[in-house]
Structure 1
Amino acid sequence: MTARVLGSSGTELTAVYVPAEGDGDLQLAETVGGAGVPSGLPARCALSGDSPIATAFRTGRTLWLGPAEGAANAPMGVLPLGGDAQRLGCLVVVDKATDAFGPDRRSLLELHAEQVAAGLEALAVRVVGRPQAPRAGRLGPGLDTLRGGAFTLGLSTGRIDADAQVLELFGIAPEEFDGRVETLLARTAPDDVPALMAIVEPGRLPSPGQQLSFRIRRHNGELRWLSLRCRVPAAADGTPERVLGVVADAAYLRPSADEVAIVRRLSAALAGATTIREVSRVVVEALRAPLAAGRVAVAELEADRFVVTVLDPPEPGAWPEEWRSEWRSEWPDAARHRLPTLEAALRAGHVALWPPGAALEPGLAGIGPGGLAVLPLPADGRMVGVCLVGWEQEHRFGPEERSLLTATAGLAGQALVRAHALDAGHELTTMLQRSLLPRKLPKLPGGVAAARYLPATVGLEVGGDWYDVIPLSDGHVALVIGDVEGHSAGAATIMGQMRTAIRAYAVEGHPPDVVVAHTNRLLVGMETDLFATCCYVDLDMEEGIAWFVRAGHLPPLLRHPDGSTEEMAIAGGPPLGVVADGEFPLTEVGLAPGTVLALFTDGLAESAHLPLEHGLRRVREVFGAADPGDAGRVADDLLGSAKHRHDDVAVLVLRYDGMRVRPTRARWAVWRLPDAVMHARRFTARTLRSWQVTEEMDVALLVVSELVTNAIAHTQGEVLLDLTLAADRLRIAVNDASPRAPVKPVSVDWESTGGRGLLLVEAMSVAWGSVPLSGGKQVWSEIGLQPGERIARGGAGGPAEG
């Protein structure tokens, strides 16, 4: 390390400690200055010791020490280098004046430490070919590129106090500098000025540790990369008043001639990209071949989620299982909090590299087994997305690649923002429709469901295709697919209302034809000119019996266990929203285990160049050739026949497996007598003994007592007690004629005579709740069974007469 590196901190003595070879202790790598300053710095520090240097390294906290804290008669600062994921060393600064480390000085030194850490990481990549902590003996003149300086900018005056190192980087002689920030901005590349100006915009203050890379052109025409880290302290009223920053030479970002050519081609291609998808494809094409990468993904940042815009390769099997679990559209999306590595990279604001075998969260594991690069995409002073580049084989990262990735990230971020501005209407409707579709399909007993949605590739508006999977009571599940006429935000809005209405009517327990009829009357009353088609299926997962209702929609396809396919002959009614009193007949179909059911919208089978009957024939052929063992792959194969789409496409696939152990049920009509609870408990005890459920008998009887007591005391009419034994749970449900849901008390006094029932039910149950039924409700509780309790087939399986 050189004096120009450490001397830029501006203190009397500056030193860097890095991990020593072999034993892992911290070793003094270099010092600068120190004349007349009694530092007492040791040559080595044991990591297990209690010295300030070892403490700061272990804890990751900066220490500011005076003589009273053992700073050897001079103020001392010990600043850890690197983050929690990788500790690189410690920066030690010592000064003479007792007030040398005021608030602003501390902020500047912390920023300087962040710059040194970035350079140490880059040097480690250059020397050993992969990100790792630098070791004593591996450091050399390469860190000279980190030379930099500090400045303070007054926002109200526009005056900047920059030290000699900053002026040298910009190629300005100190005697020629007029103290105006415009003089420095005039040397900055025009494309990078907006990013610098955005730092002080309201609501866009820089994140801690964020690095901004930009280019300046010196008086001799040389183009130089610089890096900036800054903080913007605010006044008492919260308004920014000054900028504290550290600028350093980032020569390790300087691209080679080949990379310059790549960046130029990328810039030219991005200039013609007008949509988010086009921008993402250009980025993927620019990176994958030159870097010999195995996988490349581009994702936008929308609120608290990463929304993928392009994957290469596009096959779901090439990406983590956690992504595939939420693959509801053409590309998946994932919550930010489930990807802490990406969140940390966004906060840091610069390229992050992970070596082979790095411990990553499940959402990133497997993307780059040979190495992973994470590129935050900056624009307008914020992060708008992220790009992931993964390698299959062990990959040695070089400084040239880092420069290419950094340049690509800046161009891609700006292009994404520009595409949003050019395509704002389409982006709004796309986000609206994506938010209205189910984020994740439920797990079903006895079957697997998968869904896909693709927007049209011709035109900019979004349609109203939707799908849903709704778990119902008694082992039933509802499958819904529909299509609202038109392509607009209005169509997407109606789609959301239709989906919500059907879900509400279904959960209330209405038969399938009544669910569709109620939804039809609702749409007629909305005073809209739009109509919708729909196919609704109520499937008994225990018996394999399905009831179909079709409202102007295409008939579903069925793939039998022997591989043969058929277009189902389902009786149909008019589209929703056309006739208020339309009739929607029921069609009953039995499904054998191994059957696959496919529901889809007309965009899959029909286009301007393909008649419907020909399209249905093609879809049926693909359906018959697909592997029925993977419902998601079946859905993907079906979408493969719709490359150029003039309409939206929604596909819902269910593989029906049947239930290996069918639930055992029993029902009791509760007598409205003074001892009704006693009779309900006796019925429950007899039933559970016949089912050989004994370990949880007392808990079940307590739950039955509370639920039946509430129904008898607070409702009128018939009360029914249902017991269901399924797998490892016992379900207790009480139906009554009151639609009013039970309310759990927030708190109960010891002297209260009531209100504890639901609290007891909640404490004894794995889960509990209330669902509406036609004219009433059902309050239910599920109790977990002990391992080894046998599930019997016989017993009190039929309804008991009251």
Structure 2
Amino acid sequence: MSSPSLNAAASRLVPRGSRMLVLLVVVTVLIGLVIWRFHESVPLVSLLVPLLASSLVLGPRQLPWFVVFVLLVLALVVPSQDRIDLRIVLTVVIMFVLGFVVLASSLRRTRLGVAGIQGETMFVDLRDRILRQGGIPDLPAQWYAASELRSAGGTPFAGDFVVASRIAERLEVAVVDVSGKGQGAGTRALLLCGALGGLLSALPPSEFLDSANRFLLQQDWDEGFATAIHLSLDLTTGRYDIRSAGHPPAALRHAGSGRWEVLESEGPILGLIEDATFPAVSGVMRHGDALLLYTDGMVETRNRDIALGIDRMLGQAERLLRGQFEGGAKRLVEALGSRNDDRALLLVHRR
């Protein structure tokens, strides 16, 4: 019989979605028989192996029934023990408690509808796909750009993120700070990252923050606001437009004087005011100039005003970026900012 025929026969006998369940049932029965036959040397806790494995691979519909099956097998093999002492009783109690813990976790998974490993894999894959939108696209040789992110809890999920897109000879970048921090803001940041990444590529620069503001207003979240700064950069001429929505101002380093200039731009926070306007600050990046866009975690702490934090950041930038901009974003993020807040920074340099 050919391999396709064998696969078809196997699928008819045991549906693909039930094969793992059948395997675990067989393993549980075998372990139960071994405990019954060799109860002197095989402990009851051996049944924890299929129980814990089921919590990783079975879906929310199959898992509760399998947990009940394992506990039933446990109840059947307990009489095989030579004597029922306190150790046996405690083992049974602990296994029943673990069974109920697994049942409770399966009830939470019913909201997602997939097994533990599958659900985690889906979530990680979703996170990676969305965060790839924040990657800086390939730029002409005369331009260098890099972004760095750090979360308050040290996890890949944070309330700060960067989205970037190159459209012909224009670089469009937005640095966004979602309300909250760490994992608490992570889910909203993931949703916004995907939405704003699409808006950034599809709309003219002058309409990006307007549309982002409308999108946030439509979500009707309890903490439904965010700050953002948007850079639209002509890669041929170096001309830029910067629009801000309640965000710390960008900073431009003039190569001629070696001085940093704070580019003050005003605009309301996203998600609070309908029909808000976001005026642009325009200029030209000349050869040797550098531009910094960042979130408030880089410059603001409980004990320091944001203006003082910007001065400190620019002082560190003068020292850390002197003569070497490659890798500068990472050096600045590691040297500055509060470890109790999310941080994001974008560095653009015209060589």
TM-score after normalising by structure 2: 0.62
SS of aligned partner of 1:466: strand
Cα offset, 1:552, TM superposition: 0.8
- Asked whether 1:472 is paired with 2:167, we answer yes
Structure-to-structure mapping, 1:233-244, within 5 angstroms: none
The structure whose Rg is larger is 1
Cα offset, 1:565, TM superposition: 3.4
| Alpha-carbon distance between aligned partners in 2 of 1:555 and 1:430, rounded to the nearest angstrom | 33
SS of aligned partner of 2:165: strand
Letter in 2 for 1:183: S
Cα offset, 1:632, TM superposition: 5.0
Structure 2 CA distance for partners of 1:470 and 1:630, relative to 1, 3 Å: farther
Letter in 2 for 1:443: D
1:507 is matched with 201
Structure 2 CA distance for partners of 1:501 and 1:440, relative to 1, 3 Å: closer
| Alpha-carbon distance between aligned partners in 2 of 1:522 and 1:561, rounded to the nearest angstrom | 38
Structure 2 CA distance for partners of 1:519 and 1:655, relative to 1, 3 Å: same
Letter in 2 for 1:649: R
Question: Percent sequence identity over matched residues?
Answer: 25
- Asked whether 1:648 is paired with 2:342, we answer yes
Cα offset, 1:442, TM superposition: 2.0
- Asked whether 1:180 is paired with 2:38, we answer yes
Structure 2 CA distance for partners of 1:200 and 1:430, relative to 1, 3 Å: closer
2:139 is matched with 444
Structure 2 CA distance for partners of 1:542 and 1:436, relative to 1, 3 Å: same
Structure 2 CA distance for partners of 1:523 and 1:181, relative to 1, 3 Å: same
Letter in 1 for 2:343: V
Does the aligned pair in 2 maintain the 1:429–1:489 contact within 8 Å?
Answer: no
1:559 is matched with 253
| Alpha-carbon distance between aligned partners in 2 of 1:153 and 1:538, rounded to the nearest angstrom | 61
Structure 2 CA distance for partners of 1:472 and 1:614, relative to 1, 3 Å: same
1:375 is matched with none
Cα offset, 1:471, TM superposition: 0.8
Structure-to-structure mapping, 1:134-213, within 5 angstroms: 155=30, 157-159=32-34, 180=38, 183-185=41-43, 197=49, 201-202=53-54
| Alpha-carbon distance between aligned partners in 2 of 1:538 and 1:200, rounded to the nearest angstrom | 52
Report Cα offsets for 1:380-417 as digits up to 9, x if no partner: xxxxxxxxxxxxxxxxxxxxxxxxxxxxxxxxxxxxxx
Structure 2 CA distance for partners of 1:464 and 1:430, relative to 1, 3 Å: farther
| Alpha-carbon distance between aligned partners in 2 of 1:520 and 1:204, rounded to the nearest angstrom | 40
Cα offset, 1:522, TM superposition: 1.9
1:520 is matched with 213
SS of aligned partner of 1:467: strand
1:72 is matched with none
Structure 2: unaligned runs, 5 residues or longer: 1-26, 58-121
Report Cα offsets for 1:521-553 as digits up to 9, x if no partner: 221222224211111011010111111111111
Report Cα offsets for 1:683-711 as digits up to 9, x if no partner: xxxxxxxxxxxxxxxxxxxxxxxxxxxxx
2:187 is matched with 493
| Alpha-carbon distance between aligned partners in 2 of 1:153 and 1:518, rounded to the nearest angstrom | 56
Structure 2 CA distance for partners of 1:154 and 1:490, relative to 1, 3 Å: closer
| Alpha-carbon distance between aligned partners in 2 of 1:483 and 1:522, rounded to the nearest angstrom | 15
Does the aligned pair in 1 maintain the 2:31–2:47 contact within 8 Å?
Answer: no
Report Cα offsets for 1:730-779 as digits up to 9, x if no partner: xxxxxxxxxxxxxxxxxxxxxxxxxxxxxxxxxxxxxxxxxxxxxxxxxx
Cα offset, 1:560, TM superposition: 2.7
| Alpha-carbon distance between aligned partners in 2 of 1:641 and 1:650, rounded to the nearest angstrom | 13
| Alpha-carbon distance between aligned partners in 1 of 2:317 and 2:284, rounded to the nearest angstrom | 20
| Alpha-carbon distance between aligned partners in 2 of 1:471 and 1:589, rounded to the nearest angstrom | 19
Letter in 2 for 1:464: G
Report Cα offsets for 1:265-302 as digits up to 9, x if no partner: xxxxxxxxxxxxxxxxxxxxxxxxxxxxxxxxxxxxxx
Q: Which structure features the higher share of helix residues?
A: 2
Letter in 2 for 1:501: A
Does the aligned pair in 1 maintain the 2:299–2:337 contact within 8 Å?
Answer: no
Match of 1:601 among 280, 295, 298: 295
Report Cα offsets for 1:587-620 as digits up to 9, x if no partner: 2110012222111100111111222122111110
Letter in 2 for 1:599: L
Structure 2 CA distance for partners of 1:644 and 1:531, relative to 1, 3 Å: closer
Structure-to-structure mapping, 1:570-585, within 5 angstroms: 570-585=264-279
| Alpha-carbon distance between aligned partners in 2 of 1:466 and 1:430, rounded to the nearest angstrom | 16
Cα offset, 1:434, TM superposition: 6.5
Does the aligned pair in 1 maintain the 2:286–2:350 contact within 8 Å?
Answer: yes
| Alpha-carbon distance between aligned partners in 2 of 1:647 and 1:204, rounded to the nearest angstrom | 33
Does the aligned pair in 2 maintain the 1:559–1:596 contact within 8 Å?
Answer: yes
Match of 1:586 among 280, 291, 294: 280
Does the aligned pair in 2 maintain the 1:559–1:595 contact within 8 Å?
Answer: yes
| Alpha-carbon distance between aligned partners in 2 of 1:497 and 1:199, rounded to the nearest angstrom | 35
SS of aligned partner of 2:187: helix
Does the aligned pair in 2 maintain the 1:623–1:637 contact within 8 Å?
Answer: no
Letter in 1 for 2:41: T
Structure-to-structure mapping, 1:702-721, within 5 angstroms: none
- How many residues of Structure 1 are paired with residues of Structure 2 in the alignment? 258
Does the aligned pair in 1 maintain the 2:239–2:282 contact within 8 Å?
Answer: yes
Report Cα offsets for 1:549-583 as digits up to 9, x if no partner: 11111111222324723243333111111211111
Cα offset, 1:487, TM superposition: 3.2
Does the aligned pair in 1 maintain the 2:251–2:263 contact within 8 Å?
Answer: no
Letter in 2 for 1:525: Q
Letter in 1 for 2:30: L
Report Cα offsets for 1:363-391 as digits up to 9, x if no partner: xxxxxxxxxxxxxxxxxxxxxxxxxxxxx
Cα offset, 1:498, TM superposition: 3.2
Report Cα offsets for 1:608-651 as digits up to 9, x if no partner: 12221221111101111123665452112211333752211011
Letter in 1 for 2:137: P
| Alpha-carbon distance between aligned partners in 1 of 2:233 and 2:239, rounded to the nearest angstrom | 6
Letter in 2 for 1:449: A
| Alpha-carbon distance between aligned partners in 1 of 2:123 and 2:55, rounded to the nearest angstrom | 26
Structure-to-structure mapping, 1:385-424, within 5 angstroms: none
Structure 2 CA distance for partners of 1:620 and 1:185, relative to 1, 3 Å: same
- Asked whether 1:454 is paired with 2:122, we answer no
Structure 2 CA distance for partners of 1:479 and 1:534, relative to 1, 3 Å: same
Cα offset, 1:203, TM superposition: 8.3
1:539 is matched with 233
Q: CA RMSD in A?
A: 3.7
| Alpha-carbon distance between aligned partners in 1 of 2:325 and 2:128, rounded to the nearest angstrom | 21
Q: Which has the higher contact order (CA 8 A, sep 6+)?
A: 2
Q: Which structure features the higher share of strand residues?
A: 1
Structure 2 CA distance for partners of 1:568 and 1:431, relative to 1, 3 Å: farther
SS of aligned partner of 2:33: coil
Letter in 1 for 2:144: V
Does the aligned pair in 2 maintain the 1:622–1:637 contact within 8 Å?
Answer: no
Does the aligned pair in 1 maintain the 2:290–2:349 contact within 8 Å?
Answer: yes
SS of aligned partner of 1:437: helix
Letter in 2 for 1:592: R
Report Cα offsets for 1:215-258 as digits up to 9, x if no partner: xxxxxxxxxxxxxxxxxxxxxxxxxxxxxxxxxxxxxxxxxxxx
Structure-to-structure mapping, 1:64-143, within 5 angstroms: none
